[in-house]
Structures are given as C-alpha cells and as structure tokens.
Structure 1
Amino acid sequence: MPRRFTIGRLLGLSSGDPNDPWVTDDGLLPQHSEYPQTPIAPAEVTKIALRLRHLIEQCVPCELEESLVTVAHSRIITTKVIKAAKEAGGEQNRSCVVFCLLVCSRWFKRQALLELWDADLHHVRSTACEVIAKAIIENEENTGYLLHNVLLHRFSMIVNGRPTHPTNVIEKAVDLHALRVICSSGYQRCLKYLWKGWVCQDENDPTVFVDYTGRDDRRFIAHLDPDRIRAPVYQNMARLVMSLVYLALYTMAINSINASGKLDGAEILLYVFTLGFVCDELTKLWKAGYNILSFWTAFNGTLYAVIMLSLALRLVGLSYPAGTEDGWRVYYNTLSYNFLAFSAPMFWTRLLLYLDSFRFFGAMLVVLKVMMKESIIFFALLAVMIVGFLQAFHGLDLADDLEADDIWFIISAMANSVMQSPEFSGFDRFAPPFGIILYYAFTFIVMVILLNILIALYGSAYDDIYQNADDEFMALFAQKTMQFVRAPDENVFIAPFNLIEMVLVVLFEWWMPKAYYELLNDIVMAILYSPLLVVAAFFETRAAHSIRLNRSRGDDDDDTIEEWEQMEEDVDFEAEGWAKVCEEVKSNVEVEPAVLEVQRLRVEVEELKKMVERLAGVAGKIGEDES
C-alpha cells in the first residue's frame, strides 16, 4: 500500500480513521492507472523496430537533402508513411512505435559511423525516424495514453540474445539528443508534468510512473507532504538554497583565516556540506550508471577534490605542535588556505548548475559546453606542437652546456606564446641561431594558425547553437529533469541532509518495521523541509484552483486562458460569414503552386475531353439523320 503520512497526521490533525477529513482514499502515489500498460516482449519490440527500419529504407532509398524530409508536408514523409509506421506494431503493440523509431535512429547513426561512404544517407534516415516519431507524438489526442503508455512506459530490446535494460522514450530521446522528439508538444507536456511532480514515480517501483492525484486538492494542509520534495522543481529549489548556503559558508571560511590552524564553525560546516555533496554524487552514479555523467559531474568532482585536499592539509598541519611562525603547522595551514582560495571561481560557477532552468542561463551554458567540445581539436594539435618544440628546445639546452638549466625559462616562454604574449628577448642568446628560429616558428604556428582555428571553431559553435537556441534549451531542460528522475530515492534527502539519512539507515532501518521507519523518515523530512514545504504548498494550492477551473471547462489541467481566448465564445465566425471569407482567400500550403496549376489544368483537360466527346456524338447523330 502507498504511504499516506501527511503533515496533517504528523501534526495530530488526523486520527487515522478512514472517515477522517485529513485522510483520503487515494494515496499520494496510487498503484493503478486508468491507462493499463500491457507488457510487450523484448523480441516483439525488436521485430517492430526492424519493420520500421525497413520502412525508412524504402522511403529514403537514396541520399536526399535533409530539408526534403524535415519540411512541412514533406513529399518523402507523407501522412501515408506516418500511418504505416503507427501500424507497424498493430493495435496491441502500437505504444512502442515511438520507442522503436528512436532505436532505429540510433541504428542509422551508428551505421553512419561504420559506413562513412554512405554517412549522409544514414543521417537523413535517422532524421526521418525523428520526424515520424514527432508526428506520431503530436497527432496523439489521448493525453493520458501518450504520457503513460507511449512516453513513460519502459521497453526492452534483444541484443546479443539478451534483453537490454528497460528504458522509456523520455530517457531515450535525452540520451540520443533527439531534438525533434524533445521539442514536440507532447514530449514537452510530459516533461512539464514530471518537473512539477504531477506525474511521479511509484515509491514501491520507481520504474512505474503514476499520476499525482492530489494536484487538484485545494486544501493547504493536504500539500504539506514530505513526499512532494521528490518533484524535480522542489528538488532544484532545495539544491539552489543549499548551494547558496554552501557559498555563504565558503565566504565566511575564506574571509576568517585562523592563524592557529584550528577549524572554526563555518569551516566545519563547509567540510560537512562537501562530504554530503560527495556522497550524493556517488549515490547517483551507483543508481543511474554512466548516463548520469556530464560536464557538471566532472566540474563538481574537481571542486570537491580541492576542498577535501584543503581539509587533509589542514589536518596534517594540526598534527604538528604550534611553534614558530615558519614551522610545519603554519606551512600546511597556509597551503590549505591557498587551495581553498584557489577554488573560489568554481564555487561561484557552480551556481549556474541550478540556474540553467532559466532560458538565458540555459542557452549560454549550451554554447559554452559546445565550445568546450570544439576546443578539444585545438588542444590536441597544441599538445603535439608543444611536445615537439619542447623536445627541440630541451635538446638545444643540453647541447649548449651539457645541462638542462633553462627548462623553466623555456616552459614559461612557450606558455606566454600560447597566451599571445611571446618573449623573444631571451632566445637571441639561446643556442644561436637555432633557438630564436625555433621560437619564431612555434609562435607563428600557435598564434597565427592554431588560435585562428580555435576562433573559427568557437564562432561556428556559437552560430549553430543560437540558430537553434530554443531547441537546445529544451533539450538541456529535459536532461536536467532526467537527472532528478533517473536516480530515484524513496526518501529524498537533499545534500547535505543525506548524511542524516545515512545515520537513520545505520541506526534504525535494520531493525525497525517498515511502516514505522517510513513514518520516522517523514517526520525528519517534515522538520528539515518545513520552510520549503510551506512555500510549495502555497503554490500547489493556487495551482489546484486553476486545475479545478480547467476541469470544469473540460480543458487539460495545465491550460491557461490567454487574452485572445477570453472572448472566443462571444464570436461566431460562421454566422458572421468571416469563416467563408477566410476560406476563399487562404492559400493551399500543403501543395506546391506548380502542382496546383497542373491539377487545375488536368480538370480543364477532362472537361474539354468530355465536351469533344459530346460534340462528336452530336456530329454523328447529324450525319445519321442526313443519310
């Protein structure tokens, strides 16, 4: 049975009686759904994917321009093709068609890597898979079926004779970076429901998604439930608050240096927070695997490593007795603070991790991420050049006086060249004339060739992303949502509160009955998150009123009435004749103008043919009469 421990019961407002007004028959996370999810065998899913692959190969038989596939009312991906794709699984298994199309897209992308001579053809076929998948999602009118059976239901394939790990369309599209599927209206609605917690994971089976039935409850106390922290929007809010506290602790620690080396309260809390964040990252990696890894995982790992190194140096310093001002304790204490100060830019940059849900920061972060990927080419070429010239300078240094005593001067001069500040003065006396010639060559290659390549790569990445900024932002937001959903936890303790969860597990979980242990976790989370729960309950209560109003009109829960919709019921375009006027003046965008002219010409030819036949018949009758 799902848990029904709400704040009302925790505060003693409920007696546990089923007739109690604070207890509802529906649990927070119900075990059933009005859209039954029939399991589909992995072998059958694989067969459907093979059928769709054959369909795509027949529809895109040769290399075509990608625009011919992606354009609206395409002559390649027609309504007949989309209908045939939907029928690939039959009536019983049609829910896995979108998933199979994404699998086919991945197959074609892999085939493009294996068969470079046909890479363009396979890329167009991969794009065709995404176009069909997007059309199927957007044409599905049953929102509940779309969410639960098509997008959130998990399917498996047969690979090497074994079923793969089950996954759903939401996760698959994020992993493949399938922008067209991610940017479809149905996908974005599902993502919105996941973000708000209107559709959430069953606490007893995280692989199953169920509706949050309490979203239309207008009672404030009903939303004061610790389980609502599982919603990504509240997790993101809590993590942002914890990050601001973390930054404040760091600021206090770095601005109050203790000459004695002892740890003050701010520093102790700073290191406790860091330990909690490290445990949180390790838990995500253990639960979700390598799919959870990203740029921010590496960034946070570097920051936490520097902070823990600072702590280690501080403890080493404390192991020495307090003595003179230049003793070992002072040395390690100073070195610890140096590492702590060194991490300041990373502390502030870390805030962007929780601000990327805003479009401005999200689009900027996408650009930076792509630029970092593009710069790998530059740094690979630069590394080869540096190693080659460094070996040459080192050889000249040895040949000059049989000692490599100028190695640091060489490294510093080469680094200055990379930073566009070369120093030629020292090389005119370095193994003349070979030293100055080599340094001129190195400076020319780095500053004129490699840096201009880097600038061109950055400019190209910037143009590509900002031409598609909205789609890239939606993909980034989908990835962020999946980070919360993919590593589910029955009791959500945001770092550093996860350290409290570890204490509860060690002290109580192994002997306490499950029901009482869940109640204990609810009480602890209610205390820890009480300010956030009050804010969340306020917004959810307001949302509940809107949901009730939408349902009374027969609209979807997330509908809003805009300015242009407020007086739609007072206008009757049919009665006014305005609909007929619009029908007469509108253009046919589904068919090209040349095709329309040919169709009109065909009708006229048919009419002319009938007219000639009638005239021929009349002439024949006249001839018979005369005879």
Structure 2
Amino acid sequence: MERSGTALEAAPLLHTDPDHRSHAFHPRTVSRVVDRIKALTMELLPIQVDPEELTSPTSSILSIEVVEAYEKIAGDFHRCTPFALMEARRYFRKQAYLNPSDSDENEGRKLACEALARKIVARVPMQDQYSLLSARFTVIEEDGDESLPLSVLESAVDQHAIFFLSSGESQRCVFALWRGLLVQRVKPNGAIEYEQYKRSADYSGGFLAHFDPDRVGVPRYQFFFRILLWIIFLMAYTVAIQTPDRGFGLEDVLLYVQVAGYVLEDVTKMYKIGIWSSLSFWLVVNFSIYALLTVAFVYRVADLATHDSHRSTQLRLVSFQWLSSAAPLIWMKLLTIFDLYQYFGTLQIVTFRMMRESAVFFTLLALLALGFGQALTGLDVADQSRDSTEAVIHSLIQGLLGSPTFEMYEKDTSSSYPFGQILYYGWSVLTLVILLNILVALFGSAYQECTDEAVPTYMAFFAGKTISAVRAPDTYVYVAPFNLIEVCILPLEFVLSTKAYAQLNRYLMGTLFCVPLCAIALFETHFDGTRAKDFAALTEEPDEFGDAEEDPQPCRTSDDMGDAEEEGLEISKVSFEELKKALPSLTRSVQGEILWEIKELKKRLDKMENDKKNGGKGSKE
C-alpha cells in the first residue's frame, strides 16, 4: 500500500506492495556488480599489504586512477557502487574467517573495499551524498533468497565498518539525522531516502509551524523522550519492590504496561531488520529484564488468583524475589543517558570489547570447572557419600573469587585426602595465578585497541545508535509503551482509506505526545538558534572559503579602532597564486610523487627520442 509522504516514514508495519519495491535495482544486477568488484579487488591486491597504505589519504595503491576505475565498474548502475563495495567487504571478511591461511590478504581486501566506498562517496556533491548513503538495495544470498533491503550506511553499521562510518560524509549525514535536519521519506516507488526536513524553509516560523507529530521520531528527541519514560519506569519499579504487601496498584500497572511496550518494540525491530542485525549488548540486557519481570508477573497473577492466604504469601514472596533480581540490569540501563558524551560512549565500547574478549577466559574456565568439579565429586562418590557435593561446588566458586577453602580438604575434615587437597591446590593455582592473569591481559588488549582509535570508534558507535533509531520505525512513530495503542488501531488500516488512516494517526499522535511536541516546538523556535546555519550546512562544503579575499589591501581609512595604514605598504606583495606554488602537493604519497616524476621524465625521454628519430629522417631526405 502506497502511503502519503510524512517526515519520518519507513516501511509499513505488516505488509509491502510488490509493485513498489523499497530498493532501486534488481537484486541479481546488484549481485553481479558485487561479483565484479570482488574480481577486480582480487586483481588489485593479490598479496598482503600494510593496512596503513590503504587508509592513507595519499595511498599509492588506492590512487585517483584506481578510485576512478571503481567508479566506472557498475556502468549505468553506478548508484549502487558504494553499497556493492560494502557487500564485497562483507564477503572478504567472511573469507578471512573461513580461510585462516589467507586471512591477511582478505583483511587487506576488506579494508580496501571500505576505503574505496569512503573515497567514492567523498567525490559525490554534498547535495547528492544523502540519497547515495540512504538508497537501499538487495542482493541474492548464498541460499538463493533475496536479502533484506539495506543502504550503504546500514550495511556499514551492521559490519561495524569504523573507517567508513568515521568519514566526514557519513558523520555529517548521521548528525543531520540525529538533529532532525534530515528525515526519511518514502518515494512514489516505495524507496526510502534521506531528505532535508520538509519544514526547513520555515525554521524561523512560529510555534505551530514546528508542532509536527513526525518530530517525535527524530533520534535526538526520541532519545530524550525514551530516557524520560525509562526514569518513570524506574520510579514505578522502585515503588513496586519497596511495597510488597500492597495489592496490585498503579505502580504495577505502569511497570508491566511499559514492559509490554518495550517487548513489542524490540520484537518488531528484530522482525524487520533481522535477529543478527539487531543483536547488541543492550538487546541482551533488555530481554534479560523482560524475562525476569515476566516470571515475576506470572507469580503475581497467581498470587492474586489464589484464595489460600498462606499460598498467596508464598507466591508473592517468589514474585518479589524475581522482581528484585532485575534491579542491577534496570539501573545499568541508565548508562545510556550519558553515551552522548564521548567519554561515556568510549567507556561503554571498552566494556563491550572487554566482555567479548573475556569469552576465551570463560571457555577455559568452564572446561576446567567441569574437570575439577567432576574429580572432586568423584572422590565424594568413592567415599559412598554425596553429602558434600554442594560444598564442593561452593568451594570451587570461592576459590575462583579469591577466597579458597583449603580447610575443607585437610586430612582431619575430608575423606578424599590427599587427592582432594592436591586437586584443590591445582584449581587455585590455575584460576588465581594463570586464568585471572589471562583475563587481565585480554582486558588490557581490548582497552588498548579502543583507546588507540577512541575517536573513530566512538563515531561508529554514535552512527550505530542514530541509525538504529530511524532504521525500522513504523510508518507513524509511537514510542514505547504508546506502541500498544498503535497495535489497537492497526486493523483500521485495512478499513479506512490511506488519507483517513494518516489523519487518524496524526490526530492521535498530536494528542498523546502533546507535551513533548510542545517542548520540541519551543526548542526549535526559541532555543535552537543555529538552525538556519545547520540547514545551510547540509549543502555547503565545510572546507570552502569562497568569500575569502586572496589578495587583500591594507585598511586605508581611519576609525575608532585605529589610524589608516601608510601609503605604499601592501599585504599582498606576493600574490596568492605565487604563494600556492611553494606548497607541496599532497595528492600523492612520497613514493607516488617519485613514481610520477619518473613517469614524466620517461615521457620526456621518449619524446626526445622520437624527435631525434624524426629529425634524422628529415636530414636524410
């Protein structure tokens, strides 16, 4: 079903019109472009190269000629070239994992594809970059199915392509999306692209010009609105766990209604963009919270449905035990308030990287724990007594945490002596001396990797956060838990006309979000003073100094700030063009410059040789 254009429209919630595809070219066409890029990249990098040589602005490998060759590789379908390069990057990343012997070569090809995509986007005029970054394409997957529509920006976020996402072009697009200067629009053919906000010409208009329900979906406003709702959720949760003897009150209603909205939102996002694309640390935290609160809710409902007072007390106790267990995770979510700042965002990245690196530690720990646990409990069974099995497990955990219970395996207290004592000594040495030091080394390595590239890593993190906010919203953005209301009116989409359904949603959103919309309109009209400059900056190159006078004259008039300069004194004794001739050329590296000079010299020698031959022939004649 084709929809009327609103500022933040995306794909419909439940269905799409096959006559209006959300991508530009046939997936087989794009796949053939990707295959062509793979083949050319294999020719470009048949051997391992230094990664810095690929990311350098003056790279002798990814020269201007190479970039121009890749620009022509798709012919009339050049609009999909950056996306195809990112898909080729995905292929080489997979090959680096599957073929360890060629890992370095494939890592170089992967980085080359990413760098080429960045260079090609940078060569496009600014006003066309946004549509290029947002145009969605599909490819044919290995199983023969068509992939989900993706833009080059979304593909880069999925692959965590730091070098591409940290480019000025990507960050300008991301930041404009974050502030609502760019919005998603649905084209007549169903394609989704980023365009300048439709009310940009009215940035100096009045309050009502900015009271637009679609502004709720702007990532920046959506972010703060979600934080406010999460604080309300936290307050309701705090009251609920502090009053276990009360009945099912208002705080419980707020708590579980918000949980239902959050669950629906996350499930919808996973359905739209795929499980692996949406998987993140915070998604795991979210579903852990949902699981704990769901169990607590089930026990609470059982408590309310039970007439036996003793049984009801037991069920309520279990319910509040599960409810209280979610507190650390709920408070942890408040970290997302501060990740707008680079320090806290980098801190989160370091923490996530450390947790990922700790997988090696926990794998070794699990294997050792199973082995030592089986040995110690086996000694317990050999003694025909299973009374101390639970104590054995606790002793292993205490030993790991730095408080080993050696007295449990002494001669006077254990029948497993001396084997149990020797095994426990071995467990303590392996965990406290070896494994924990391995963990510290892994954490140190992860921290070093993040801090070495703190700025580009944070840029990629911020890009992922912004794109996730606009990537899979409904056609009309209802922030959870208000999405439960959207579900209730969703059947009307098949009854009402498109115009009537759109009008219903806008009226409903204007009513539900009246307070935040008033705050947004007030901010944009009175406090966001740089908005006119921000809209202008969307199409103006930031490095252009067209207004600068290259050969200025001294001030020849006297005023309150000083006397006029003496006649005969000049600023531009040497013209600006003459000064520019003294500057070095940075379009090529030192090696590239030398090669270029050699080529120029060879051309001159060839010309002299040809002239000599032609001159010799003329003299004979």
Deviation at 1:502, TM superposition (A): 2.5
CA contact (8 A) 1:29 1:210 kept: no
Query: Who is 1:8 aligned against?
Result: none
Structure-1 separation of matches of 2:314 and 2:381: 35
The equivalences for 1:17-166 within 5 A come to 28=7, 39-90=24-75, 92-140=76-124, 142-148=125-131, 150-159=132-141, 163-166=146-149
Change in Cα spacing, 1:559 to 1:307, as seen in structure 2 (3 Å) is farther
Query: Who is 2:537 aligned against?
Result: 556
Query: Who is 1:502 aligned against?
Result: 487
CA contact (8 A) 2:7 2:185 kept: no
Change in Cα spacing, 1:49 to 1:567, as seen in structure 2 (3 Å) is closer
Are residues 1:577 and 2:574 paired?
yes
Structure-1 separation of matches of 2:590 and 2:181: 44
Change in Cα spacing, 1:270 to 1:558, as seen in structure 2 (3 Å) is farther
Give the residue type in structure 1 aligned to 2:459: M
State the SS of the aligned residue for 1:351: helix
Question: Which ranges in structure 1 are unaligned for 5 or more consecutive residues?
Answer: 5-26, 32-36, 615-627
Deviation at 1:152, TM superposition (A): 1.2
The equivalences for 1:453-492 within 5 A come to 453-492=438-477
- CA deviation map 1:195-224 (0-9, x unaligned): 233333336877412522212312221110
CA contact (8 A) 2:127 2:539 kept: no
State the SS of the aligned residue for 2:537: coil
- CA deviation map 1:305-363 (0-9, x unaligned): 1112122222222333364xxx3222222222222222211111112235433322211
CA contact (8 A) 1:215 1:544 kept: no
CA contact (8 A) 1:374 1:461 kept: yes
Give the residue type in structure 1 aligned to 2:405: E
CA contact (8 A) 1:547 1:558 kept: no
Deviation at 1:267, TM superposition (A): 2.0
Change in Cα spacing, 1:397 to 1:223, as seen in structure 2 (3 Å) is same
Change in Cα spacing, 1:295 to 1:575, as seen in structure 2 (3 Å) is same
- CA deviation map 1:37-95 (0-9, x unaligned): 994333332332233223222221212222222223112111111111111122x2221
State the SS of the aligned residue for 1:202: strand
CA contact (8 A) 2:216 2:477 kept: yes
Match 2:225 to one of 223, 238, 249: 238
Query: Who is 1:421 aligned against?
Result: 403
CA contact (8 A) 1:216 1:544 kept: no
Structure-1 separation of matches of 2:591 and 2:84: 36
Match 2:210 to one of 198, 219, 223: 223
Change in Cα spacing, 1:48 to 1:289, as seen in structure 2 (3 Å) is closer
Structure-2 separation of matches of 1:482 and 1:271: 28
Query: Who is 1:314 aligned against?
Result: 300
State the SS of the aligned residue for 1:158: coil
Structure-1 separation of matches of 2:418 and 2:335: 51
Q: Percent identity?
A: 30
Deviation at 1:127, TM superposition (A): 1.0
Are residues 1:439 and 2:424 paired?
yes
Give the residue type in structure 2 aligned to 1:133: A
Deviation at 1:135, TM superposition (A): 1.1
CA contact (8 A) 2:42 2:109 kept: yes
What's the TM-score once normalised by structure 2's chain length?
Answer: 0.83
Query: Who is 1:541 aligned against?
Result: 525
Deviation at 1:373, TM superposition (A): 0.8
Are residues 1:520 and 2:517 paired?
no
Structure-2 separation of matches of 1:472 and 1:392: 45
CA contact (8 A) 2:361 2:438 kept: yes
- CA deviation map 1:212-250 (0-9, x unaligned): 221231222111011221222222121111111111111
Give the residue type in structure 2 aligned to 1:409: A
Query: Who is 1:7 aligned against?
Result: none
Query: Who is 2:199 aligned against?
Result: 214
Query: Who is 2:15 aligned against?
Result: none
Query: Who is 1:396 aligned against?
Result: 379
Deviation at 1:122, TM superposition (A): 1.1
State the SS of the aligned residue for 1:73: coil
Question: Which ranges in structure 2 are unaligned for 5 or more consecutive residues?
Answer: 11-21, 554-570, 613-621
The equivalences for 1:186-205 within 5 A come to 186-202=169-185
Structure-2 separation of matches of 1:66 and 1:583: 32
More moved, 114-123 vs 508-517: 508-517
What's the TM-score once normalised by structure 1's chain length?
Answer: 0.82
Structure-2 separation of matches of 1:451 and 1:29: 49
- CA deviation map 1:115-162 (0-9, x unaligned): 22111111111111111111111222x2232211x2111122234555
Match 1:410 to one of 392, 402, 410: 392
Structure-2 separation of matches of 1:578 and 1:538: 50
Query: Who is 1:22 aligned against?
Result: none
Match 1:592 to one of 581, 586, 590: 590
Are residues 1:298 and 2:284 paired?
yes
Structure-2 separation of matches of 1:136 and 1:496: 42
Deviation at 1:405, TM superposition (A): 0.5
CA contact (8 A) 1:156 1:165 kept: yes
Q: Which has the higher contact order (CA 8 A, sep 6+)?
A: 2
Change in Cα spacing, 1:189 to 1:57, as seen in structure 2 (3 Å) is same
Deviation at 1:163, TM superposition (A): 4.0
- CA deviation map 1:554-609 (0-9, x unaligned): x53487999x98995597499453746754654455342896599599979x99xx
CA contact (8 A) 1:105 1:126 kept: yes
Say how many residue pairs are matched: 571
Deviation at 1:542, TM superposition (A): 5.6
Structure-2 separation of matches of 1:535 and 1:44: 47
Deviation at 1:548, TM superposition (A): 4.6
State the SS of the aligned residue for 2:316: helix
